[in-house]
Amino acid sequence: MANKIETLSTVRVQKTDDLYKIVDTLNRTLKEENLMFGMALDEDDRDTAVFTIYRT
């Protein structure tokens, strides 16, 4: 059976230097709940981060 990743939510927020710490903490804390968190810079606005929650 293939492992499917489902996007649960996506939000755009103002980029800050420490935002990655939140994503890292969420991933470490909630991986046993089959949740994964991601962050990427918006392609059109480098001051905006795209935060996404996935179910694995």
Q: Above 90 in pLDDT, residue 10?
A: yes
More confident residue, 3 or 25: 25
Give the per-residue pLDDT at 22.
Answer: 95
Using an 8 Å Cβ cutoff, are 9 and 52 in contact? yes
Instruction: Return the beta strands (E) in the chain as ranges.
Output: 6-14, 35-41, 48-55
In the chain, what percentage of residues exceed pLDDT 90?
Answer: 95
Question: Exposed/middle/buried for 56, CB within 10 Å: 0-12, 13-18, 19+?
Answer: exposed
pLDDT tier at 3 (50, 70, 90 boundaries)? confident
Report the percent of the chain where pLDDT is more than 70.
96
At 17 the pLDDT is 93
Please identify which residue in the block is written with the tokens 């103002």.
14
Its pTM stands at 0.87
